[in-house]
Structure 1
Amino acid sequence: MEAIMRLGAPDAVLARSEEGWRALGGSGGRWTAKGLAVSLAESGGAFALELEAPEHAVRQLKLRWNAKQEGRPLILGDHWERGYGELEWRGIVPERVLPWYFLRHDGARTAGFGVKTGPNAFCYWQLDADGITFTADVTSGAEGVRLGARKLLVAELLHDPGEEGVSPFEAARRFCRLLCDRPVLPKQPVYGGNNWYYAYGNSSHEEILADSRFMSSLSAHPTNRPYMVIDDGWQLVSGGGACNGGPWVGNAKFPDMARLIDDMKAAGVKPGLWCRPLLTAEDVPADWIRYEGSGGHVLDPSVPEVLEHVRASVAAMAGWGIDLLKHDFTSYDLLGQWGFTMKSRPHSLKPSFRDRSRTTAEITLALYRTIAEASGQADVIGCNTFSHLSAGLFEIQRTGDDTSGRWWERTRYMGVNTLAFRMPQHGTFYSHDADCVGLTPDVPWALNERWLRLLAGSGTPLFVSAAPSAVTKEQEAALRRAFELAAEPLPAAEPLDWLDNTCPSRWLLNGEVTSFAWNDVNAETLEEKEHGWWL
């Protein structure tokens, strides 16, 4: 921890209650106004930010450090939940919201500013020519949190000044390790199939078994078998790709989920299952419902009975013997918007939570802990979940928005960008899943093959969406080679040109520099004969 430099006292501390913004005065690590107190004290190498507000409903805290920015630094921020193809190193953009943490590279060293994972607020940073502003959103739904006599540990702040001679990539990985004390990681490298990008919610017991046999046939690994994940479409009120919620029991095409899971294991795969835990078409008590959504009731996880309902549903799925649970849509169902629109206002929903005494972050953490505990021995993928609140609870995080089995351009800008710019979180926060290879006739194989090679050699999870009937012999051979690589531990791939390319084309894969032409307009007609480890 010697490299952790003191942040120093902020030059201004402000709090926003339901009555508006107020400047707090003080020194020695404590700032106050009538009915409000904010403290910042060193704790285990970090700085614990605490809030007391017995008389007010508080929405936000702001801390400001005045510090002129010298030179022309490059800045990289994180995202609230998934990346959306827009992560990049950029110059100073004062209005740019940098959720959770950011890195500052001045050409010689890379410094990090952030909060440790598992904070009790939605935290973001902003950098301008004259200094740094930190904001902690402590709202409870659409309203200020009412703490009463409780003191809230808002977040633990960290600053790493960096070291000369350390690359921005290694500095980023180092800083992510400091931010997450206890990452939870999968038991083995993760690879296999997911049926979403060719089935899109239209599947059956028999088709999943065919998928399972095919995935099993692609791997000869004796102890680390491939996964086969059943995505949306198996639940009772399946809408053929509508991503509907519970109840989490089968339907006419999936009449016996426990038997299907057993059959999948007999076929030689690890079964996985998708769910959307906060949406249900069930008849539930009115005080469980936060608002009405498309396809059912959106539940309020601040209600204890709702958490027990989620726990029971997840435990039932885990009881069928699944090896992986993929839960989805909690960010959208909690906040009513996707990550790319959140910016500095993550809360867009008018309905508040019934429990106003806890922040949205606290309520989310309780939900995520419930899912993690109820999943038993199954590894958990959080998809559309808040990154910093998932780290240390879920083994795998879907770190980017969907790739595609229909449109290569979407896979390129979502998948490659996500893989590169969130790679520092791989093995430090969780196992970093940049999403699938959608292997269909709609996507040129020459381009998909490059994405497959990159994922297989990256050390990150490799999921392939491939209808067995649509896979050619050439593609089957490539999948076998990819699975052979992905089944064994590999070092995290490094994007070598990420400082000046949002879709890095030069990568260090297992010690070898490999280049990829992501924008080859002739790829649909070219026969691929690229050199490297693939041959």
Structure 2
Amino acid sequence: MRAPTQVFFQLNPADALRPAGPTSPTRWTAPGIEVRWTEAPPRSSTTTSAAEGSAVLVAASGGVARVVLRWDEPVPAHALVLGDAWERSYGDLQWRHLQPDRLLPWYWLGHDEKTGATFGAGVDVHPGAFCSWTVDQTGFTLWLDLRNGGGPTHLSGRELTAAVVRRFEDAGTPWLTLHSAIEAMSSHVTLKDIGPVVGANNWYYAYGEGFDEKAVLQDAATVVELADGHPVKPFSVVDDGWNPGGNGSGGPWDSGIPGLFDDMAHTAAAIKEIGARPGLWFRPLLSREPGPWARPGQYDGTGRALDPTYPEVLDLIRADLRRFKDWGFELVKHDFSTYDLFGRFGPAMGARLTDDGWQFHDPTRTTAEVILDLYGEIRAAADDLVLIGCNTVGHLAAGLVDVQRTGDDTSGRDWERTRKMGINSLAFRLPQHRRFFTLDADCVPCTPQTPWELNRQFLDLIARSGSALFVSVDPAARTARTDRDLGHGIRLALSGGDAADGGIEPLDWLVNTTPARWRAGTGTVWMGEW
């Protein structure tokens, strides 16, 4: 990819963007800052075909907030454009005609409807900045958010690799081009072989209220029964609501609710005895206890958000993960960390990401670096536990979680939410599966409040895809038909789905945010009216 046409910078968030002057075709400077464009250093790669990208290096004598790179290369006026999301998607991924103010996190693809060509650009996973793009008819722009919280990062002369940038060429179809782009951006990531991830999760009928160990063990028995002796054991996950703080609250995570979960080690052992693998949910960056390590200004009524740049906070998280492992759990789902860090979920982050003015305890690292370090510490402490990241930043979590919740919550109460969130996430982020992580488009509910004839189609797609399949089965909704459908889907997913036949592909995704026509194996599946 050739060097940008222009470079701009912002030393403080309140400043206006200013141009940096070129001192060579690949170097731009201004008082207090230097930006360089250079060949990226080689990285270990799981593929031999991925060419190295170009690195954006930023050095600042003091603080820096943003660097902006502009390429003056015309984009066809009739092009359709696709981007990703900061963390989970919220039913908002889509191909859309040119919209110059549209923020496109991490990468973008353009599709020329006249020529059929697909093209674009993106940044490798694990960048040192929060990276987004804007695309207009005269070119495209890369926005590098280098802030620490809501203030400048004090690099103090340190040279930061802000991003490794890549150009994407047409690979035959938009679907194949997105696959090729994802592979290139993650070419240095090596994933653990964790096998199929399939199991029960109680959230979408319990919603964190009124369940106990007996209900959890019933869920485990249900998923084992539906797996019907499959040699790959399913998981059974205890979701939010097991600890004394109650639904959505923070730690400490050292015990269950008295009278409901008196002994979490006993719960894990009982799940194993039934024949499932026990999993557990927690919120690592929220505490109900007062302390000196809180993230400034972030309190949501159920606890104070913790600042992971304090070593003591990382010590607490390490201790939690050791405890869960000692209890006998084999899977841990860590949740809410993006919200606890930024004070907002993905759709509200926009270009600002977070409120202005506050900073982490350590102001010398960008927010992207802080999050990367947090994910790395969780990964190391988890050891051989299967890690699920929920409300985690996919481009930073790649290879540091085993499974990633790629969309916002589906629903055991409202089918339309499942259609909007789950199907959209599966369709537009499936190429990330087994490249960034095992993809989890979220649970398939089986509840009296939602139509099974629609949920079963969602079940079928996920099972065929080979991505993570979790089912949330209300005992009141079980019938001979639901058991038959659930059993077939669970066993197919435990066997790896239709991967041997080429997996699945949304065929109408250029014009439909919740595709209804899919290639599955060697045939086509029509989902009818979602």
- 1:433-452 matches, within 5 Å, as 433-452=440-459
Distance 1:167 1:22 in 2: 39
Within the candidate set 59, 62, 68, 1:62 is matched to 68
Asked whether 1:315 is paired with 2:322, we answer yes
Change beyond 3 A, Cα 1:287–1:268: closer
What amino acid maps onto 2:34 in structure 1? A
Contact 2:443 2:472 in 1 (8 A): yes
Contact 2:469 2:493 in 1 (8 A): yes
Contact 1:13 1:31 in 2 (8 A): yes
- 1:166-315 matches, within 5 Å, as 166-180=172-186, 181-202=188-209, 203-238=211-246, 241-252=247-258, 253-284=260-291, 286-290=292-296, 291-315=298-322
In the TM superposition, what is the alpha-carbon distance from 1:470 to its structure 2 partner? 2.9
- 1:348-363 matches, within 5 Å, as 348=355, 350-363=357-370
Distance 1:341 1:314 in 2: 30
In the TM superposition, what is the alpha-carbon distance from 1:79 to its structure 2 partner? 0.3
Within the candidate set 467, 476, 487, 2:494 is matched to 487
Distance 2:249 2:525 in 1: 37
Alpha-carbon RMSD:
1.5
Asked whether 1:121 is paired with 2:153, we answer no
Q: Indicate the residue corresponding to 2:111 in structure 1.
A: 105
Asked whether 1:152 is paired with 2:160, we answer yes
Distance 2:83 2:231 in 1: 38
Contact 1:246 1:277 in 2 (8 A): no
Q: Indicate the residue corresponding to 2:91 in structure 1.
A: 85
Structure 1: state its 5+ residue gaps: 1-5, 520-535
In the TM superposition, what is the alpha-carbon distance from 1:196 to its structure 2 partner? 0.2
Distance 1:408 1:187 in 2: 31
The worse-fitting range, judged by mean Cα deviation, of 510-519 and 263-272 is 510-519
Deviations 1:438-464 (A, max 9, x none): 111000111112111122112111110
Distance 1:20 1:259 in 2: 58
Distance 1:243 1:458 in 2: 34
Change beyond 3 A, Cα 1:72–1:98: same
Deviations 1:290-323 (A, max 9, x none): 3333211210011111111111112211222222
Contact 1:221 1:484 in 2 (8 A): no
Distance 1:406 1:346 in 2: 31
In the TM superposition, what is the alpha-carbon distance from 1:221 to its structure 2 partner? 4.3
What amino acid maps onto 1:475 in structure 2? T
- 1:495-534 matches, within 5 Å, as 495-519=506-530
Deviations 1:318-340 (A, max 9, x none): 22222211111011111111101
Asked whether 1:393 is paired with 2:393, we answer no
Structure 2: state its 5+ residue gaps: 43-51
Q: Indicate the residue corresponding to 2:31 in structure 1.
A: 34
Distance 1:432 1:197 in 2: 19
Secondary structure at the residue paired with 1:422? helix
Distance 1:477 1:193 in 2: 16
The worse-fitting range, judged by mean Cα deviation, of 304-313 and 345-354 is 345-354
Deviations 1:470-509 (A, max 9, x none): 3112111111111110101232321011111111011112
Distance 1:371 1:360 in 2: 17
Within the candidate set 2, 15, 18, 1:22 is matched to 18
Asked whether 1:455 is paired with 2:462, we answer yes
Secondary structure at the residue paired with 1:263? helix
Distance 1:419 1:10 in 2: 34
Secondary structure at the residue paired with 2:427? helix
Deviations 1:374-413 (A, max 9, x none): 1121111110111101112111110000000000111111
Change beyond 3 A, Cα 1:235–1:349: farther
Distance 2:469 2:138 in 1: 43
What amino acid maps onto 2:135 in structure 1? L
Matched length? 507
What amino acid maps onto 1:206 in structure 2? K
Distance 1:318 1:350 in 2: 38
Asked whether 1:76 is paired with 2:72, we answer no
Deviations 1:204-238 (A, max 9, x none): 11111111111111113443111111000111211
Taking structure 2 as the reference length, the TM-score comes to 0.93
In the TM superposition, what is the alpha-carbon distance from 1:355 to its structure 2 partner? 0.6
What amino acid maps onto 1:369 in structure 2? G
Contact 1:117 1:389 in 2 (8 A): yes
Distance 1:517 1:348 in 2: 43
Change beyond 3 A, Cα 1:350–1:404: farther
Secondary structure at the residue paired with 2:110? strand
Change beyond 3 A, Cα 1:222–1:481: closer
Secondary structure at the residue paired with 1:447? helix
What amino acid maps onto 1:105 in structure 2? H
What amino acid maps onto 2:20 in structure 1? L
Distance 2:284 2:449 in 1: 32
Contact 1:278 1:333 in 2 (8 A): yes
Secondary structure at the residue paired with 1:102? strand
Distance 1:463 1:96 in 2: 33
Q: Indicate the residue corresponding to 2:477 in structure 1.
A: 470
What amino acid maps onto 2:87 in structure 1? E
Taking structure 1 as the reference length, the TM-score comes to 0.92
Secondary structure at the residue paired with 2:163? strand
- 1:331-346 matches, within 5 Å, as 331-346=338-353
Change beyond 3 A, Cα 1:134–1:298: same
Secondary structure at the residue paired with 1:189? coil
Identity over the aligned pairs, expressed in percent? Answer: 40
In the TM superposition, what is the alpha-carbon distance from 1:246 to its structure 2 partner? 3.1
